[in-house]
Structure 1
Amino acid sequence: MSGARSVMPSLKPSLRRLGMLAALGWLAGCQAVPPLRTEPAPRPAPPPPPAPAPAPQAPAVPWDVAPVEPGDWSYRAEGRDSLALFAQAGAPPRVAFVCRAGTREVAMRLLSLDGSARQVVIRTSYGALQWPALAATDGTRLVTITRPARDQGFDWIAYSRGRIGIEAAGESLLVIPVGAEIARVVEDCRN
């Protein structure tokens, strides 16, 4: 029996170690597992922003190389008002700048093919101006743009390098030379 006893004491520490290892293994298996996260339903995409207003499209032939309309500028005073007219000899004016001194406004009148333009783009060496227009209601084919005389756009027109391009819906590009008469009419309204 003494032989059996000698084996037993040496087994006790081994069993104790084995039990501790088993307990450690069991504890290692008891990890904290985070709960399953449920993702919220994806939000619907916001509606796209409204499309910006289209920029004025450049004409097929660039305004700065297109042929210039033949004609000449003239200036005249009518009471307190003044006019700068662009026309061919014997024809009605294609373009007129009118100073309305009483209201300090400058009206730009265009002889149109059908008189229905609601928007006019004026191209200058400083940039493009997009101005609203009113069609005449008296049966004439005039389209009128009226702006305060202090509008910087008139400086762009009066001091453009040699020419301006005028585009109205449904019309062909009109390129006219710049004349000193335009600046004179604008200055009449500013003073």
Structure 2
Amino acid sequence: MTRSPSFLAITIAAVAVAGCVPRAAPPVPVAVPTPPPPVVAPPPVLPADWQDWPWTPGAWRYLRDTNGTRAVYAQPGQPVALQLRCDRAARAIWLERPGAIVAPFTIRTTSTTRTVATQAAPGASPQIAARFAVDDRLLDAMAFTRGRFTVEQPGTPPLVLPPWAEIGRVIEDCRA
């Protein structure tokens, strides 16, 4: 079948006109708005007198294992905030809290305030620990303080803890 020259001319003209149609521009990407940075609440302003500071949320638990006894302070389902551990073999008591900053602890009780040296403690998670001889009177001050005692360390929030019986039990276990 032969095609007429006019058919061929029309086809070429149609193709040429189609080639002149501008291509559709690609869609402009929609910019996803950047979420605002999270609002970090400033730490609460504590009263001037440490004896008016609120307790750190949590409770003491007394635990016994093959190495001795310990009192741990934590909220249910949360990591331990502080641990008082008896090492019977070394006749020492360790006060440990999570962290990686090796800076002294300042311990305040109603009768005593003392700064104690710390060291990194071995374990699965970073811990900072202070070692006490079993007859250290600061341990008694922690056990028998009125209302609360604190463990403070630069760069970390202070721990304000109740002097529950678990502390005295661990101390007496280690002295026995």
Q: TM-score when scaled to structure 1? A: 0.64
Unaligned runs of 5+ in 2: 1-45
Amino acid paired to 1:145: A
Letter in 2 for 1:83: R
Q: Is 1:99 aligned to residue 99 of structure 2?
A: no
Structure 1 pair 60–106 and aligned structure 2 pair: CA distance change class (3 A): same
Deviations 1:142-191 (A, max 9, x none): 11011111111100111111211111011122211111100000000101
Choose the corresponding residue for 1:180, options 157, 160, 165.
Answer: 165
The answer to whether the aligner puts 1:109 opposite 2:96 as a matched pair is: yes
- For residue 117 of structure 1, report the CA deviation from its aligned partner: 3.1
Task: State which of 127, 132, 137 in structure 2 corresponds to 1:142.
Answer: 127
Query: Residues 116, 139 of structure 1: CA spacing in aligned structure 2 closer, same or farther, 3 A cutoff?
Result: farther
RMSD (Å) for aligned C-alpha atoms: 1.7
What is the total number of aligned residue pairs between the two structures?
131
List gaps (5 residues or longer) in structure 1: 1-58
Moved more, 165-174 or 153-162: 165-174
Q: Answer yes or no: is the 8 Å Cα contact 2:47–2:53 preserved in 1.
A: no
| Cα distance in 2 between the residues matched to 1:171 and 1:125 | 22
Q: Residue in 2 aligned with 1:156?
A: 141
The question of 1:63 aligning with 2:50 is answered yes
Per the alignment, do residues 61 and 117 of structure 1 end up closer, same or farther by CA in structure 2, a change over 3 Å counting?
Answer: farther
Q: Which amino acid aligns with 2:108?
A: R
Give 1:118 shift: 2.0
Match of 2:71 among 74, 84, 91: 84
The answer (yes or no) to whether the contact 1:63–1:173 under 8 Å persists in 2 is: no
Question: Which of 121, 128, 153 is equivalent to 2:113?
Answer: 128
Looking at structure 2, the residues matched to 140 and 94 of structure 1 have their Cα atoms a distance apart, in angstroms, of 12
**Identity among equivalent pairs (%):** 29
| Deviating more after overlay: 98-107 vs 134-143 | 134-143
Q: Give the secondary structure class of the aligned counterpart of 2:51.
A: coil
Q: Is the 8 A contact 1:117 1:169 kept in 2?
A: no
Q: After the TM superposition, which segments of 4 or more aligned residues of structure 1 sit over 3 Å from their partners?
A: 136-139
Cα distance in structure 2, aligned partners of 1:141 and 1:148 = 23
**Correspondent of 1:167 among 152, 155, 158:** 152
